[in-house]
Amino acid sequence: MKQDIKSMTLEELAEALSALGEPSFRAKQVYTWLHHGVVDFAEMTNLSKALRQRLSEAFEITAPVVVRKQISALDGTIKYLWRLRDGNCVETVLMRYHHGNTVCISSEVGCAMSCAFCASTIGGLVRRLTASEMLDEVLFTQLDSGLEISNIVLMGIGEPLDNYDTVLRFLHLVNSPEGMNIGMRHISLSTCGLVPKILALAELSLQLTLSVSLHAPDDETRSKIMPVNRRWNVDELLAACRLYFEKTGRRISFEYAMIRDVNDSPETARLLAQKLKGQQAHVNLIPLNNVEESPLKPSSRQTVQRFQQILESEGLTCTVRRTLGSDIDASCGQLRRNYQKTQEKA
Ligand code: SAH
């Protein structure tokens, strides 16, 4: 098996090249080619032919293949379904905001977390992505679209903190000045609430934005829609979030998908406000996206507005997420899921 060269840090590459008897500046040359999307050692024209040959014998360069590309006629959102080298597929969404082009990337093929409203978890976890595969989502979205990417959200398929070490490696790569150089403050990571991993992340004091998928302020409701809550409950999760803020000084963004008659009553809003009191928090209300396999339905616009008003009157900052790409299955594992269904039928 050849080694996955794009998952290596610059320092690791320098070590590998020095073992081949090469001077240290070669590592930077190779790293720069890789992070510009070169997929064949033969194209690394500032290296000798002999070295290119030796590298191609020892290493492989990952590159995903576009299986589907959909462009929203409504807002220019682009959704990619990529095929990875083992045949598995993941999706990436490019959203065009005023503050810059943002990619939403996947961290795993499938997901083990079993949230009741989420299409990504149907079929469970297949495998975790490598650091190079996550980097490729950003890199090849930029190259294919011709649009420079300034922000990344880890909110696609998978639970990033379930792939903790590799996600940290990816962050190091994408943040590196010799690579895509995307600042930590331009990166958000979303988790369903793996408490020990939130605590571990807090110790690193990264400047990224942590989003926590809360979706309910009480254990009864949250355990029903998010099985992870049976392992770490709401109070344990919120305590970890407070600690995270104390350590990093970074305000947490709480995601809250509004589900009709499940978590959208005025009493629930008041309980949520009470639970988040004293916490540096921002609440992001997301009208639930319909998933065909699920009986859960979105709350009405009025209900969302009412919920928002209650939170604001209790002193919380709260926004309602704008829906982008609603004409192209642009949310939460839907493109991969629909592609799977067409394959099942065929
Ligand atoms: N596993 C991570 C990140 C992936 S999901 C997490 O749970 O945070 C990104 C966000 O989309 C999460 O807040 C998730 O709960 C939410 N989500 C999933 N399915 C949804 C749906 N059908 N409608 C609205 N939001 C959904």
Contacts of 340 (CB under 8 A, 6+ apart): 123
Q: What is the pTM of this model?
A: 0.94
Give the distance (Å) from ligand 1 centre to CA of residue 132: 23
Ligand 1 within 6 A of 121 CB? no
> Residue 321 has what pLDDT?
82
Q: Which atom of ligand 1 is nearest to the CA of 159?
A: 1
Q: Does the annotation mark 91 as catalytic?
A: yes
Is residue 156's pLDDT more than 90? yes
Nearest CA to ligand 1 atom 18: 118
Q: Which atom of ligand 1 is nearest to the CA of 117?
A: 22
Q: Convert the pLDDT of each residue in 274-299 to its tens digit.
A: 999 988 899 999 999 988 888 999 99
Nearest CA to ligand 1 atom 24: 288
Q: Which atom of ligand 1 is nearest to the CA of 192?
A: 7
Ligand 1 within 6 A of 289 CB? yes
Q: Convert the pLDDT of each residue in 68-102 to its tens digit.
A: 999 999 889 999 999 999 999 999 999 999 889 99
Is residue 330's pLDDT more than 60? no
% of the chain with per-residue pLDDT over 70: 95
Give the distance (Å) from ligand 1 centre to CA of residue 214: 10
Nearest CA to ligand 1 atom 4: 155
Is the separation of the CB atoms in 271 and 217 below 8 Å?
yes
The torsion angles phi and psi of 314, rounded to 5 degrees, stand at -90, 5
Give the length of the chain.
346
Nearest CA to ligand 1 atom 1: 159
Is residue 345's pLDDT more than 80? no
Is the separation of the CB atoms in 200 and 168 below 8 Å?
no
> Residue 336 has what pLDDT?
72
Q: Which atom of ligand 1 is nearest to the CA of 290?
A: 22
Q: How large is the average pLDDT for residues 95-116?
A: 96
C-alpha distances in Å from residue 166, one per residue of 5, 232, 322: 14, 23, 30
> Residue 50 has what pLDDT?
96
> Residue 291 has what pLDDT?
83
Give the distance (Å) from ligand 1 centre to CA of residue 255: 8
Is the separation of the CB atoms in 202 and 248 below 8 Å?
yes
Ligand 1 within 6 A of 107 CB? no
Q: Convert the pLDDT of each residue in 298-312 to its tens digit.
A: 999 999 999 999 999
Contacts of 254 (CB under 8 A, 6+ apart): 211, 212, 213, 214, 276, 281, 282, 283, 284
Given 104, 241, 318, 332, the catalytic residue: 332
Nearest CA to ligand 1 atom 20: 118
